[in-house]
Amino acid sequence: MVAYFPYLLLLLIVIIALTMLANRIRIAYPILLVLGGLVMAMTPNLPNVTIDPDWVLIIFLPPLLYADSWAISLKEIWKWRRIILSFAFIVVFITAAAVAWVANMVLPGFSLALGFLLGGVIGSTDVVSVSAILKFVKVPHRLSTILENESLLNDASSLIVFRFAALVVTTGQFVWYEMAGGFLWVVFGGLLIGLLIGLLIGWILKLLHQWLPTDANMDIVLTLVAPYLMYMIANEAQASGVLAVVAGGVYLHHHRNTIFPASTRNKAMAVWDNIIFILNGLAFSLIGLSLPQILEGIREQGISLTTATYYGLLITGTLIGVRILCAYGAIVTTQIMKRFIKVADGRRYHNIGVPLILGWAGMRGVLSLAVALSIPLTLDNGAPFPYRNLILYITFIVILVTLILQGLTLPFLIKWVKFPDYDDHIPDIEAETLIRKELARVALEYMDIHYKEGITNSFLLQNQKDIWQFHLDTPKCSATPEVREKYIAILRHQRDFLEQMNRNPRINEELIRSFERQINLEEEKWENS
């Protein structure tokens, strides 16, 4: 293990360099990370990476799902629930069935159960890739919401398909009523366990804050432990660890303001951003680095590389085609159903590009490889798992082609499509002004009710009252790029002056750092506005 440490440091440096390059040339960084992993895998004198399938899911999956669950907007999911849930569940099941049928018809000796297993492996889209691409192009908020939330939720449905297909393959048994009961427990049991663990963690944290001296570091460690507890307990109970992590994460995020103090919320965001960046970087790099191991398995199975590649491209084409057809089918279904029930948006789509974007944004990524690697090496009777190496190679081809082909062309498709004039949200500048005014109004009302007598005696409260009153009286408070640049320059000048003040030996440096943190937070807010 120690011998691989310099190699790991090199890999982290490569990940950072490729991510910076991706941001520079404005493409999704997962694409370059996969290609970088491929180059490193083919570089001589570098050690081959052997990935232990037993550790892949447990290391990468819980924290990645947990972080994604904190990004879920229940409000947006409810608003677009029909299309999001359709793509997250129905489309995944249709895709798995199509992959199973094609694999059963084309691949020699490939059973329907193995086909459904393959469909479960490659059924989920990758939220990291989708988010990275959407960062560089302007799309309607509606479209980005649907794509990102669908990518978050379809992990669970694809893993459910994979789990039951793997059970049929390994045991050779299929009892429909047992499968139906098992399916219900996997789904609802996973949700229940996740919520209970989230509730328990929240209760424990509240007790700790009340009775014991805790700080942000301890709280953050507990948030790191939480997803692993949810995942492992749910799996031990034969429920869905994925749904448990998502449900528990959503619960903790919803109650974050009552569970965690402000210091924890601020610091945890930075810690988790770094952790997820490293895990995603390592995972996408491992996709490329795993190629030698996968090719060796193909050779052992006696399948030519040309034949295996043909199978991979065929399955990839099936995935892309089925998703695009489902996207257009969803639009047609909406037009039919609006005659009978109320739909979120019943307008006619004269532009065929919108469902094309929904269908084309189906990149596969980390989860697919992790699930493929978690396929057991042997069946229950001790025999080798059939076509395991071929499934791994097909998964690799699917990830590579969808990331490169769809990932590189999606921004151009988005720029080409003329989106309808959606009116789902208030423009950001107008909404920002509205929020600022409403916050000022409720603050002033609260002060007048509870602290009316003591405000005039406090310069701080009186000054803050004047600021809030200014927000109410100002018709519009939007910052132009020029104003933003000037304000950031002023903040940086303040920080430079703090460094000069720090030369005074009579001033506590910790106070200087406290003011620096405040300036940094303000600067970050304006840089991202």
Q: Is 349's pLDDT higher than 50? A: no
* 197 within 8 A of 226, measured Cβ to Cβ: yes
pLDDT score at 323: 92
**Range scoring the smallest mean pLDDT among 22-26, 37-41, 143-147, 172-176:** 172-176
* pLDDT value for 180: 62
Between 461 and 286, whose confidence is greater? 286
Averaged pLDDT for residues 140-155: 80
Q: What is the pLDDT of residue 432?
A: 67
Lowest mean pLDDT among 198-202, 250-254, 300-304, 454-458: 454-458
* Among 472, 425, 423, CA closest to 444: 472
Residue 129, both tokens:
């890739």
pLDDT tens digits, one per residue of 463-491: 777 777 776 777 665 567 777 788 788 88
Please answer whether residues 353 and 413 qualify as being in contact, where contact means their C-beta atoms are separated by less than 8 angstroms.
yes
Q: What is the pTM of this model?
A: 0.79
Would you list the DSSP string of 316-339?
HHHHHHHHHHHHHHHHHHHHHHTT
Report which secondary-structure segment, H or E, holds 102.
helix 91-106
Contact of 470 with 462, CB cutoff 8 Å: no
Residue 413 has pLDDT above 70, yes or no: yes
CA quadruple 59, 61, 66, 68: dihedral positive or negative?
positive
Q: Report the pLDDT value the prediction gives residue 428, as an integer from 0 to 100.
A: 64
Residues 6+ apart with CB under 8 A from 291: 37, 38, 41, 42, 396
- Cα 461 to Cα 225, 262, 439, 446, 454: the distances in Å are 40, 21, 15, 12, 9
Higher pLDDT, 353 or 100: 100
CB contact at 8 A, 116 and 355: no
What proportion of the chain, given as a percentage, has pLDDT over 90?
Answer: 11
pLDDT bucket at 321, cuts 50 / 70 / 90: very high
Alpha helices in 172-215 (DSSP H): 176-184, 190-211
Is the pLDDT at 497 greater than 70, yes or no?
yes
Average pLDDT over residues 260-264: 77
The pLDDT of 275-284, averaged and rounded, is: 86
CA distance from start to end of the chain = 44
Give the C-alpha separation, 290 to 40, whole Å.
10
Which range has highest mean pLDDT (45-49, 252-256, 405-409)?
A: 405-409
Using CA atoms, how far apart are residues 151 and 246, in angstroms rounded to an integer? 13
Residue 90: exposure state from Cβ atoms within 10 A (0-12, 13-18, ≥19): middle
Task: Please provide the DSSP assignment of 501-520 as one string.
Answer: HTT-TTS-HHHHHHHHHHHH
